[in-house]
Amino acid sequence: MIALIVVLVIVALAVIYLIAAYNGLIRRRNQIENAWSQIDVQLKRRLDLIPNLVETVKGYAAHEQATLERVIQARNAAIAAPDTPHAQAEADNQLTGALKSIFALGEAYPDLKANQNFLQLQEELTATEGRVAYARQFYNDSVLGYNNKLEQFPTMLFAKAMNFQRREYFEADEAARTAPTVQF
C-alpha cells in the first residue's frame, strides 16, 4: 500500500517536472523569436531616420552632393539587400561608413553643427546604433539561455523527443568585422 503511494507521488512529481521543463523551453524559444524580430525593428528605425537627416544637411551643406548621394545610395542598398547575413552585413557597413561621413560634415560646417535638428538626428542615430547592438546582444543571450536549458541534464533526455533543436548565435560577418571607413 505504502509502496503504491510512493510510486504515485514519484510519477506525479516527474510529470510536473516534465510540464515545467517543457513550458520553460517553449518560453525561451519564443523569446528567441521575439529577440530576432527586435533586431529588424531597430534596423528599420535606423533606415527611417536617414531621409530626415539628408534633408537637414542639404539645407546647410548643399555642395556636399557626393557625400549625400553616398548615404542615399547606401540606404537604398540596405533596403534592397537580400536576406543573407553576408549581404546584410555588407550593406550595413556601407551605411555606417556613409553616416559617419555625414556626421563629420558637422565639423566643417559650424552652422550645421549648431542646428538643433541635426544634433537631435545625430543623437537618435547614435542611440539607434546602440539599440541595434543591444537587440543583437539580447538575441544572443536568449539563445544562450535556451541552449543551456536544452542541453542540461535531465531536460536533455526528452528534449529531442519533443522536437527542440539547438539554436545558432548571431555572429558578426567577416564583412562587419572590418571597421567602416570615412571618406571625404
Partner 1 sequence: MFELIRSNKRRSAALIAGFVVLAVLIGLAAGYVSGFGPAGMIVAFVIAAVMAFVSYWKSDKIALAVSRAHRADPQQYRRLYNLVEGLCIAGGLPQPAVYIIDDPAPNAFATGRNPNHAAIAVTTGLLEKLNRVELEGVIAHELSHIKNYDILVSTLAVTLVGAVALITDMAIRTMWWNGGRVRRQGDRGGGHPLFAVIGLVLLIVAPLIARAMQAAVSRKRESLADVSACQLTRYPPGLISALEKLKADTTVTHSASTATAHLWIEQPMSGVGDRGKFGSLHRMFNTHPPLDERIALLKEL
Residues that bind partner 1 (CB under 8 A): 31, 35, 38, 42, 120, 123-124, 127, 130-131, 134-135, 137-138, 141-142
Choice between 68 and 150, CB closer to partner 1: 150
Residue number with CB closer to partner 1 (35 or 105): 35
Coil/strand/helix, residue 180: coil
Nearer to partner 1, 137 or 181 (CB): 137
DSSP string for residues in 1-45 = -HHHHHHHHHHHHHHHHHHHHHHHHHHHHHHHHHHHHHHHHHHHH
CA trace torsion 164, 170, 175, 181 (10° rounding)? 170
In angstroms, what is the minimal distance from the CB of 138 to partner 1?
5
| Owner of C-alpha cell 533606415 | 47
What secondary structure does DSSP assign to 161-179, as a single string? TTT----PPP---HHHHSP
Residue 45 has which C-alpha cell? Answer: 528605425
Q: Of the two residues 39 and 159, which places its CB atom closer to partner 1 in the complex?
A: 39
Minimum gap (Å) between residue 82 Cβ and partner 1: 26
**Smallest distance from the beta carbon of 27 to partner 1, in angstroms?**
12
Min dist. Cβ of residue 142 to partner 1 (A): 8
